[in-house]
Amino acid sequence: MSDPQPIPRPGRVPSLSNVKNIVAVGAGKGGVGKSTLAGLLAFGLSRGGAKVGLLDADIYGPSIPTLMGVGGQQPTVDQARKMMMPVDAKGIKVISVGFIIDPNEAVVWRGPMVHGLLKQFLEQVEWGELDYLIVDLPPGTGDVALTLAQSIPMTGAVVVCTPQDLALQDAKRALKMYQTLNVPVLGIVENMSYYLCPKCGNRDDIFDNGGAEEAAAGLNVPFLGAIPLNASVRSSADSGQLGDNFVESQDKVSAALEVLMDRFQAEVESANKEFDGAPTLTIE
């Protein structure tokens, strides 16, 4: 069976007309720290002076409100214009289904309902002027990613995985999905890459190590960096203080994040240059 042909790049949604870069963060499977990484990217970009928005498209597991320290808040609505105002999280504009449902309630929705809510988040949210809109996708290769790719022109996607073979197999499927959807792959991030004992400094490769970098080389996509497994990342995520991980520390988390941010922004710049030089396809 031949590979499916990539879909054409969609046009700009009016509500996103002032958003320079739209970046999806996805994973082939759950439990690899995808939402945490999306939040870290948002904080890292904001710390560098960028105007950032964060769209939680993980409809069935909306953890972004907790990760960003804005759980329990609700977005306001401009009734005259029928536009939703994002919640402010330390200067980052955030929208999530977690703001509008009971946190203890399961989201039992069929595909069309999920599709409708995502379209509303894209078209009826006052995102304003942004340098980056980070979109936290649900894990796997489901229809949310397809809806996003068909609705808006994305700068690219970041794939998050852990080092073990099983996670890497799923990550490769996610990469193939983005390529099929004509979304540039900005790179792979290896999360929970290794553990450093805070007392003795001993390194332990709990989930193996280096698999994501090897996979990136084999698939000819960039490797954006390796984030260590560390209690500070977990505790800051639970408390909504992810930005604390960028502060200098002895656990090498901040150094790893600085490498990630440098490589990520370089790949975004490269993707923009490549797209600017590509021919425009108009379909009537």
| 161, 170 contact by CB (below 8 A) | yes
For residue 278, pLDDT over 60 is answered with no
For 50, the token pair is: 């960028």
Q: Which of 142, 239, 139 is nearest to 191 (CA)?
A: 139
Distances (CA, A) of 110 to 4, 100, 124, 143, 282: 25, 17, 21, 11, 32
Residue 41 has pLDDT above 50, yes or no: yes
Among residues 102, 92, 82, which one has the least CA distance to residue 45?
Answer: 92
Residue 97 structure tokens: 């289904």
Residue 184 has pLDDT above 90, yes or no: yes
Binned at pLDDT 50, 70 and 90, residue 96 comes out as: very high
CB 103 within 8 A of CB 74: no
The stretch 111-117 carries a mean pLDDT of 82
Per the model's pLDDT, the better-predicted residue between 247 and 63 turns out to be 63
CA distance 246 to 254: 5
pLDDT at 276: 62
Q: What are the structural domains of the chain?
A: 15-276 (3.40.50.300)
pLDDT at 107 over 70: yes
Q: What is the pLDDT of residues 203-236, one digit of tens each?
A: 888 877 778 888 888 889 999 999 998 888 888 9
Mean predicted confidence (pLDDT) in 87-115? 85
pLDDT band for 136, please (50, 70, 90 cuts).
very high
| 160: confidence class by pLDDT, cuts 50, 70, 90 | very high
Report the percentage of the chain scoring pLDDT > 90. Answer: 46
> According to the model, what pLDDT value does residue 11 have?
58
What are the DSSP calls for 139-173, one per residue?
SSS-HHHHHHHHHS--SEEEEEE-SSHHHHHHHHH
Q: Give 44's pLDDT tier (boundaries 50, 70, 90).
A: very high
225 contacts 189 by C-beta, under 8 angstroms = yes
Distance of alpha carbon 202 from its chain centroid, rounded?
A: 31
Integer angstrom CA distances of residue 158 from 22, 79, 125, 230, 268 = 11, 35, 23, 21, 10
